[in-house]
Structure 1
């Protein structure tokens, strides 16, 4: 049976089982307008009175869809700010949750074996299992790998399978009990630079895939369908990727690079404005006007209250990559950019937001951080001015280091006190206990490092170095150097009345300076106060603060964060400087 006969027979089958609101692809529309195709189906005994015969239904059975997979593991970072509160699949569009609409459309088409792959805020999806009698699979690596990992998680389920993203939105129902070939849905479109496009031949077979397109082209958008053979070959390609070349990429890139090794893959064209995918909040606002005035977002409500504006006045949302404790984004009100800081999970256990707010007010008064606007001490969110043009310090440029040192000297010499402050050794021990509550033996292999750092800390306790007001988190992402030379220090979560070695030491730690460069930095900071005692103290604090951040990273990972290389770097710097000083002392 050729594809045109299949399309028409499949259409009449859907009508015979009382399917409603069917979204027709262009090829089916063409077959409906060709009387000869229907006449051939009748003549061959597949169709009678516009209904499939038993022979027709039997012919369709070889093309039966086995199941469907919905990918819902991603954190949708481009969908700031809503994605900070809900996973994208649970957004309501036109009064219906995206993922529930997809599940219902699949079930209405006769697809009952449905698996949803979860990751980000997975617990919020659990209700779907009982409500719709579906299966849930967890992708624990969603933070570090792209959606190829989600497909790997359900590899045993891949047969004749629909694969959808949880943010696919179809005006009508595009799913069928029967599909003829492997395909990717889409439509002809002018340039959408963020989407993938296909080059197709005269039979609609995809012969190339690329990102973006000049002029009209076939944009790939919506669901895809893989035959069992295609599924098998795709997984073989994944297994052959021994070096993890595609781990950080969307699955489409693997298909693009292996089109010649995979079974034929076709473009299934639909009319424009029938398939939607919401990558950005502004796209959703344009589609569903309910989101213009009332997005049911606490974050937008917070901004609205601070600026005394309407929700529709808050626009142009952009995520910010930096930030290991929290998630931040840029937004605009009345043409001016601001930054909203959203507290990370688990931070309430280790950060006192009331103290942070006091420090922000203090830092603004002395001119070191003029960006602060408002902070909520109960929930931890903060709004700051956005500095449009700045750079971070270059760790390899000592002229930049001098600029940093000048600000630290100003801060540490200011006549400021506080009844709170960072105690890196004691705080690290306290965080260790929090982590051990989840895994009692997780620190066993680091006991030797802990003992070395404790020895160094004990030697610094009564050496005469006075406490002062400190920042506590002086890595380069918290520094801003404007074109005019002004230097700002932002983000005061770990600040307070503490040891100045914390600020000096952490800059050295994050720069991963060798001993000579660290000594040069410390000497420049201390000036006339440099001697053997102060040199030991500040060098010891390189190891102490590195150990603190190493334990902090362990704690953050126990809360579900992905710390990557930072955890390893902090441990290495703690080991390196502890060994260096203790060996020097033993000579």
Structure 2
């Protein structure tokens, strides 16, 4: 019998990948027809995912999105999950494939993501982020921000940026590297993608930090910058975020360093967005705002250095 003929066609369409269903069947040692209640989740910026039910429990299957094979090292991602294993930091991962990036995680009922405009949500999530940073976990790979900017640009394959002043903006952002290096105090496992959508607040109030595919060795203060720019915060909101993380006291030099990271990370994700857009995936306002962070926060750094 043709195996596809025994599977509900709507399930295949929802999963968008027969191989994903076969993977689930193998992981759970369950007949594929017993994988039910399949529903697409909101498409993420990097991956697509769907819910499914098996043996009366609900799970999430992640399938890497367009061009992700060039953006993510799945073996490094698997090493991060080994590093955080047993630390109660992440959602429960039942399966991860270090070759194709398929991942199956437990579904948490009545959980929600962090609301970047709810101060109590932000406070509890940043406390959890700081606890993670204080563990000072180690892996063998790093996420070099400036090298990644160059790498994402190389994926354009010679086509110019959509921004006419890109070369000038890039030069200014790269000039911030000296200040960053002067005030980079520590280097440990950093999430890199610590955005509100990756903080899962459970029904008991505990917080899980999910989606560790970019995680690597870096200055942990990069995570503060990433949270801010994904949330599209203005400068006042950025300062409030920094104050929450540092419990009201952040040295001026470190605050300026985080401003530097916002400029650098803005350009980083702008370049990332330009690559994805060449694949037909558009981010519109988000992409434009990331580029503006590169320009605006370079100017903010300069003003703070003068004053």
State the TM-score, normalizing by the size of structure 2: 0.90
Instruction: Provide the aligned length of Structure 1 versus Structure 2.
Output: 301
Which residue in 2 is equivalent to 1:522?
Answer: 242
2:114–2:121 Cα contact (<8 Å) kept: yes
* Structure 1: unaligned runs, 5 residues or longer: 1-91, 95-277, 285-294
* Residue 279 of structure 1, CA deviation: 8.2
Task: State the alpha-carbon separation in 2 of the partners of residues 327 and 342 from structure 1.
Answer: 5
Which of 495, 508, 521 is residue 215 of structure 2 equivalent to?
495
Which residue in 1 is equivalent to 2:18?
Answer: 297
Within 5 Å, give how 1:161-172 maps onto structure 2.
Answer: none
Q: Does 1:511 align with 2:248?
A: no
Q: Which has the higher helix share?
A: 2
Which residue in 2 is equivalent to 1:36?
Answer: none
Task: State the alpha-carbon separation in 1 of the partners of residues 251 and 36 from structure 2.
Answer: 54
Which residue in 1 is equivalent to 2:91?
Answer: 370
Residue 363 and residue 322 in structure 1: after superposition, are their counterparts in 2 closer, same or farther (change >3 A)? farther
Residue 423 and residue 296 in structure 1: after superposition, are their counterparts in 2 closer, same or farther (change >3 A)? closer
**What whole-Å deviation, never above 9, does each CA across 1:163-199 have from its counterpart, x for those lacking one?**
xxxxxxxxxxxxxxxxxxxxxxxxxxxxxxxxxxxxx
Task: State the alpha-carbon separation in 2 of the partners of residues 441 and 415 from structure 1.
Answer: 37
Greater C-alpha radius of gyration? 1
Which residue in 2 is equivalent to 1:550?
Answer: 270
Residue 374 and residue 93 in structure 1: after superposition, are their counterparts in 2 closer, same or farther (change >3 A)? closer
Q: Does 1:576 align with 2:296?
A: yes
Which residue in 1 is equivalent to 2:260?
Answer: 540
Task: State the alpha-carbon separation in 1 of the partners of residues 35 and 161 from structure 2.
Answer: 48
| Partner SS for 2:168 | helix
Which residue in 2 is equivalent to 1:388?
Answer: 109
Which residue in 2 is equivalent to 1:280?
Answer: 10
**What whole-Å deviation, never above 9, does each CA across 1:474-502 have from its counterpart, x for those lacking one?**
12221111221111110001101111122
* Residue 93 of structure 1, CA deviation: 7.3
Q: Does 1:309 align with 2:20?
A: no
1:327–1:344 Cα contact (<8 Å) kept: yes
Which residue in 2 is equivalent to 1:454?
Answer: 174
| Partner SS for 2:155 | helix
Q: Does 1:397 align with 2:127?
A: no
Which residue in 2 is equivalent to 1:414?
Answer: 135
**What whole-Å deviation, never above 9, does each CA across 1:128-183 have from its counterpart, x for those lacking one?**
xxxxxxxxxxxxxxxxxxxxxxxxxxxxxxxxxxxxxxxxxxxxxxxxxxxxxxxx
Residue 586 and residue 489 in structure 1: after superposition, are their counterparts in 2 closer, same or farther (change >3 A)? same
Task: State the alpha-carbon separation in 1 of the partners of residues 17 and 261 from structure 2.
Answer: 46
Q: Does 1:425 align with 2:155?
A: no
Task: State the alpha-carbon separation in 1 of the partners of residues 141 and 300 from structure 2.
Answer: 31
Within 5 Å, give how 1:311-390 maps onto structure 2.
Answer: 311-390=32-111
Q: Which has the higher strand share?
A: 1
* Residue 561 of structure 1, CA deviation: 1.8
Which residue in 2 is equivalent to 1:483?
Answer: 203
Task: State the alpha-carbon separation in 2 of the partners of residues 335 and 462 from structure 1.
Answer: 54
Task: State the alpha-carbon separation in 2 of the partners of residues 441 and 485 from structure 1.
Answer: 43
Residue 355 and residue 529 in structure 1: after superposition, are their counterparts in 2 closer, same or farther (change >3 A)? farther
Within 5 Å, give how 1:26-45 maps onto structure 2.
Answer: none
Residue 316 and residue 441 in structure 1: after superposition, are their counterparts in 2 closer, same or farther (change >3 A)? closer
Task: State the alpha-carbon separation in 2 of the partners of residues 333 and 537 from structure 1.
Answer: 47
* Residue 466 of structure 1, CA deviation: 1.0
Task: State the alpha-carbon separation in 2 of the partners of residues 464 and 424 from structure 1.
Answer: 13
2:161–2:274 Cα contact (<8 Å) kept: no
Within 5 Å, give how 1:222-233 maps onto structure 2.
Answer: none
Task: State the alpha-carbon separation in 1 of the partners of residues 230 and 125 from structure 2.
Answer: 13
2:190–2:216 Cα contact (<8 Å) kept: yes
| Partner SS for 1:330 | strand
Task: State the alpha-carbon separation in 2 of the partners of residues 566 and 528 from structure 1.
Answer: 29
1:512–1:573 Cα contact (<8 Å) kept: no
Task: State the alpha-carbon separation in 1 of the partners of residues 283 and 158 from structure 2.
Answer: 18
2:256–2:304 Cα contact (<8 Å) kept: no
| Partner SS for 2:111 | coil
**What whole-Å deviation, never above 9, does each CA across 1:91-136 have from its counterpart, x for those lacking one?**
x879xxxxxxxxxxxxxxxxxxxxxxxxxxxxxxxxxxxxxxxxxx
